[in-house]
A and B are shown apart, each in its own frame.
Chain A
Amino acid sequence: MQELRALAATGILGSGFKMESFEKGLSWKPDFIGCDAGTTDFGPYFLGSGESHFSDDAIKRDLRLILLGAQKNRIPAIIGSAGTSGADTQVEHTVRILQEIAGAENLHFRLGVIYSEIQKEYLLEMIRKNRCSPLDPAFPLTEEIVQKSVRIVGLAGAEPFMECLDNGCRVIIAGRSSDTSVYAALPLKMGLPPAPVWHAAKILECGAACVEQRQYPDCMFASIDAEGFCIEPPNSDYRCTPVSVASHMLYESASAYELVEPSGVLDTRQASYQPLTPRSVRVAGGLFEPAEKYSIKIEGVQLAGYQSIIIGGVRDPVILRQLDSWLEGMEQKIHARIRSIYGEMIKQKYSLLFRIYGRNAVMAELEPMLDVGHEVGILIEILADTEALARSIATAAGHIALHYPVPEWSGLITGLALPHSPAEIFKGPMYEFNMNHVVLPESYRDIFSIEYQEI
């Protein structure tokens, strides 16, 4: 194997790419098309609810082009972290979208479906066997956390993808996977060494994110060989420069030089980035240190409660002059009103939070500048144990907030400009991430199961 070529359709399935770029990328004869479909960026809601962030229509548009391109060029298409969080229900939903496309376009292929959800019993057993360790920032993973979890997934490495390819799959839809494993599987299976493969995979995984100035999501192309790889954007409006490519190692990673995968760590401290053309870069010199123990990162969420919010604005200079004391008084009054409805014990069943846009909403306690301009936005947030309580507290709190007085004005005031009717927005269940750990399985098969379908 001299060289292997990879076309990344885009950074995340459903975010789009230009048809012209994709066709250009296909004309460069890739050996496979890859696309990641998930992230924790959008927060814990998607793993909790099992919903996808992007619409079915947007996913279908991207997936259709990928499947047609793969079929026409007789190359595999590999999708990782299906449906945002790679939960089983999201994988099944993505497979349904794929089946609709295949039916409409008369496409036939062997599909590999990788499931990444982790059963609680398995994780509890791993904790008991001391085969579970925290990542930084570290906190212990207790049985209680596991039991409270709504859903837990493991991030697949390249191994289950390689198994699918070994078994003749032309298309793979995987549950939660490391962003890079989508791009590493085929090159590793073909015998390329891990250092250039994982390094190329990291640069490819966000699609066009490694170009000098990304205007919109788009494709990326890499040719990987035993010594390194060349990277070039198919879109002629974009260019990769040594700095833009090197800089992408930094993106959303806590380390500028290291990429941790289940099978080892890529170290790019010694890597070189050389311009090939004004638009393409040759990368070499990364090192891959195989892991002593094969580890799988896990992600879990638990239900935090049910959420309601109220958005309002304040313009009155008299109120703004005493914003803190006004809000403190208001908050106490809201708590008193909630107690008057539900009794003293209610305080354990809800939380109330004010965010003051125009002062320190974005950085909260970390904000060094606490000046207030001529208006502020106030976001009142309520988190409660039940949906009914979240609604009830929001309507009570909103009414108190709306008319809360200041000493200077005598008579009833309306101190909040409310942009919505109803003012209260009921957001439903809220989830929170509850794990930052790896498990050490005997084999990837302990966690990931593969199902084959003839489409």
Chain B
Amino acid sequence: MTKLADMAKLIRSKNAGPFSLTIDIMFADQTNYAKVKHSGVIHPAFISKLYRTDINHLKIEFFDAGHAIKISFPRPTVSGSFKDADVFGGQQYGPLVDLEF
């Protein structure tokens, strides 16, 4: 088993505007990208459960040109609102780092 962190060159999260969060999983080459893409792990059912987000508002895109996977969904709290702990949304990818393939 290999962890996602060992296969990806970058896993990051950030706001896509104050109301949405977007996570990029980026790979150095086609090999690891294809492995993760075809593993079926990065699947709406799994991600919506992990991030407790409505599957109907979750978007997962496989970006072949950039060897990258993009996951976007509404933020659980609006950026900078009272309950929000991550104004930039920069540290919301943690649970993906140790995913095993």
Contacts and interface: CB of A to CB of B under 8 A. Distances in A.
A242 B29 CA distance: 12
B92 A363 contact: yes
Nearest to B98: A369
Given A41-B88, A136-B57, A362-B91, A436 B81 contact: no
Contacts of A444: none
A254 B63 contact: no
A166 interface: no
B37 interface: no
A242 B16 CA distance: 23
Interface in A269-286: 271-273
A264 B72 CA distance: 22
A325 to B, nearest CB: 22
B9 to A, nearest CB: 9
Given A42-B87, A250-B24, A253-B16, A363 B74 contact: no
A431 interface: yes
A255 interface: yes
A381 B85 CA distance: 11
Contacts of B94: 362-363
A446 to B, nearest CB: 23
A272 B65 CA distance: 8
Given A366-B51, A433-B18, A433-B19, A250 B82 contact: no
A257 B61 contact: yes
A364 B16 contact: no
Contact of B26 (A247, A361, A368): A247
Contacts of B87: 41-43
Given A137-B20, A364-B83, A432-B80, A250 B51 contact: no
A104 B83 CA distance: 46
Contact of B52 (A252, A254, A272, A365): A365
B53 to A, nearest CB: 9
Interface string B1-37: 0000000000000111111101010101000000000
A430 interface: yes
B85 A254 contact: no
Contacts of A243: 28, 66-67
Contact of A254 (B65, B72, B79): B72
B91 to A, nearest CB: 5
A249 B67 CA distance: 12
Contact of B68 (A44, A247, A271, A307): A247
Residue with the greatest number of chain A CB neighbours at <10 A, chosen from B20, B57, B85 = B85
A45 B80 contact: yes
Nearest to A430: B82
Contacts of B63: 246-247, 249-250, 256-257
Contact of A364 (B65, B79, B85): B85
A40 B18 contact: yes
Interface string B49-90: 011100001010101011110101010111111110111100
Contact of A255 (B61, B76, B80, B83): B61
A28 interface: no
A318 interface: no
A252 B16 contact: yes
B40 interface: no
B17 A250 contact: no
Contacts of B20: 136-137, 254
Contacts of A42: 87
B57 to A, nearest CB: 6
B79 A43 contact: yes
A304 interface: yes
A361 B92 CA distance: 11
6 contacts: A137-B57, A243-B28, A271-B65, A364-B76, A366-B92, A433-B18
Interface of A: 40-45, 135-137, 242-243, 246-247, 249-257, 271-273, 304-305, 307, 351, 353, 355, 361-366, 368, 381, 383, 430-433, 436
Given A44-B18, A304-B81, 5 more contacts: A254-B59, A362-B85, A364-B76, A433-B18, A433-B79
Which 5 A-B pairs give the minimum distances between C-beta atoms? A43-B80, A137-B74, A246-B66, A254-B16, A256-B63
